[in-house]
Amino acid sequence: GKPRVVVVGGGAGGATAARYIAKDSEGAIDVTLIEPSRTYYTCFFSNLYLGGFRELESLAHGYGTLAAEHGINVVHDWATGVDRDARTVALAGGGSVPYDRLILSPGIDFVDGSVPGWGLEHQDVMPHAYKAGTQTELLKAQVMAMPEGGTFVMVAPPNPYRCPPGPYERVSMIANYLKANNPTAKIIIADPKEKFSKQALFEEGWQKHYSGMIERIGPDFGAGNTSVDAASMTVDIDGEVIEADVVNVIPAQKAGRICSEAGLTEGDWAPVNAADMSSKMDEAVHILGDASAQGDMPKSGFSANSQAKVCAMAVRGALTGSRVFPARFNNTCWSLISGEDGVKVGAAYEATDEKIASTEGFISQTGEDPATRKATYEESLGWYRAITEDMFG
Ligand code: FAD
């Protein structure tokens, strides 16, 4: 019969890989996509929803086109394990699916105990909103319900984590909402990192648009020693206890657990070969996106999509003999600071023997004029439309 590809995870990496393999092989490869949710909410642009710039529904994407137009067999279930000798994936609902090539793009899970006092059982009180959908909705409802002059605390994650500028864009968007609706409210960031992505651009923007509202406490002031208590809604930063109205805990992260269950992780992430995103431990398995340890690319939707296209080309080449070109990758991360004040950072990448290596990069500059910032923001709107179509059809 036809060669069989199974993809686990219908997010940025998985949906793209499934779509490109099915579309470009024109029926020569049998593609199955395993994803528990019927609707995928993008984390990208979820901060814009928090800021009042997007509706939640605009972040929602379904799998109907992948099934109808590209003949992908979409299975709404959890993959619970991989038998790498038998080459089968077990499903929560029972039964298993055989593969010739397996692609895992399960995104992230959280590291247990990384923020003392917080566990998944507290996510309805202190949301992470680092997987989009109901968590994002909850965080927004909590911000809207803050009392006048109330306090929002974010516990920011250590490196490496999904979307390096994400926490800081989120703070910007929440400040944007509060400035209009609750201008005496305060935002505190407890951050275990010395520095962060696009820091000079964010700090300039916070000063300009939200002067006096945002305070970031870094590791020099004890933020590496932060714990929370969900019962009393307090955050303890190195002995200083803050009473908060909203606490957004973004814990340390690791590869989605199916990767460790399949025995494909080293530490928290799954190491891959840059040329085709194959696992360093099993050449019949490819790992995409946030879960992979690949080198220089940030964990982003753009990166996952770019890696998926390289992987799809390599998998088709291996299974059908189609032509394989040298791997090239790209990423840009846009962030909205306020209104139409958009900034970006990005790079191009190539595959070396050791890793995905950056070749050249670019970043917005401080002091840019409003027209440049507006053009950058508009570029991001075009990007969102194009990339979600590239993923979901
Ligand atoms: P995901 O997109 O998370 O997809 C993983 C999928 O796998 C999920 O649908 C999940 O249900 C499924 N899954 C997991 N385990 C299993 C299993 N065992 N069986 C079956 N299915 C499973 N990126 C950008 O490029 N630009 C941005 O502006 C941007 N902004 C962001 C803002 C925020 C607040 C956040 C949190 C992230 C942002 N990102 C952005 C990052 C981006 O969302 C991720 O990097 C991207 O989604 C990673 O793709 P992925 O395929 O690795 O994982």
Burial bucket for residue 362 (CB in 10 Å: 0-12, 13-18, 19+): exposed
Beta-carbon contacts of 370 under 8 Å, excluding residues fewer than 6 positions away, are 340, 341
**What's residue 50's pLDDT?**
98
Count of helices and strands (H, E) across the chain:
9, 24
Q: What is the mean pLDDT of residues 254-270?
A: 98
Q: Calculate Rg over the CA atoms of the chain.
A: 21
Cis preceding-peptide flag for 3 (omega within 30 of 0): no
The binding-site residues of ligand 1, defined as CB within 6 angstroms of any ligand atom, are 8-14, 34-37, 40, 43-44, 46-47, 78-79, 105-107, 130, 162-163, 166, 170, 256, 258, 288-291, 299-302, 304, 333-334
Task: Report how far residue 304's alpha carbon sits from residue 42's, in angstroms, rounded to the nearest whole number.
Answer: 13
CA of 240 to the centre of ligand 1 (A): 34
Find the 167 Cα to ligand 1 centroid distance in Å: 15
Residue 217, token pair as written in the block: 């406490």
- pLDDT tens per residue across span 63-86: 999 999 999 999 999 999 999 999
State the average pLDDT over residues 254-273. 98
The ligand 1 atom at the shortest distance from the C-alpha of residue 130 is 36
User: Ligand 1 pocket test: which of 49, 96, 140, 163 has the largest number of ligand atoms within 8 Å of its C-beta?
Assistant: 163
> What stretches of the chain show up as alpha helix (H) in DSSP?
12-25, 46-50, 64-70, 134-144, 166-181, 199-209, 258-261, 301-320, 370-392
User: Over pLDDT 70: what percentage of the chain?
Assistant: 100
Let me know if 124 is exposed, middle or buried by CB neighbors in 10 A (0-12, 13-18, 19+): exposed
**pLDDT tens readout for residues 344-393:** 999 999 999 999 999 999 999 999 999 999 999 999 999 999 999 999 99
For 384, phi then psi, to 5°, come to -60, -45
**SS3 for 182-212, per residue?**
CCCCEEEEECCCCCCCCHHHHHHHHHHHCCC
pLDDT band at 298 (very low <50, low <70, confident <90, very high): very high
Cα dihedral: 139, 145, 147, 149 (round 10): 50
Average pLDDT of the segment spanning 14-29: 98
Distance from residue 384's CA to the centre of ligand 1 (Å): 14
- Give the pLDDT of residue 224: 96
Percent pLDDT > 90 in the chain is 100
Closest CA to 288 of 299, 96, 90: 299
Mutate to test the pocket of ligand 1, among 290, 309, 344 (most ligand atoms within 8 A of CB): 290
Within 10 angstroms of residue 138's Cβ, the number of other Cβ atoms is 17
- Report strand pairing: 186-190 vs 60-61: unpaired
The string of pLDDT tens digits covering residues 219-235 is 999 999 999 999 999 99
For residues 73 and 31, the answer to whether their CB atoms sit within 8 Å is: yes
Cβ neighbourhood burial of 298 (10 Å; 0-12, 13-18, 19+): buried
Does ipTM top 0.95?
yes
Q: What's the Cα-to-Cα distance from 227 to each of 113, 195, 236, 274, rounded to whole Å? A: 10, 20, 5, 37
Q: Whose CA is nearest to atom 36 of ligand 1?
A: 130
Q: What is the mean pLDDT of residues 11-33?
A: 98
Calculate the average pLDDT of the chain. 98
Tokens 């050249």 map to which residue? 360
pLDDT band at residue 303 using 50, 70 and 90 as cut-offs: very high
**pLDDT at position 17, please?**
99
Q: How far is ligand 1, taken at its centre, from the CA of residue 258, in Å?
A: 14
Ligand 1, atom 43, lies closest to the CA of: 43
Strands 356-363 and 341-351 turn out to be antiparallel
306-351 pLDDT, tens per residue?
A: 999 999 999 999 999 999 999 999 999 999 999 999 999 999 999 9
Residue that has been written with the tokens 């029926």 in this structure: 27
Closest atom of ligand 1 to CA, residue 9: 7
DSSP string, 311-371: HHHHHHHHHH----PPPEEEEEEEEEEETTEEEEEEEEEEE-SSSEEEEEEEE--TT--HH
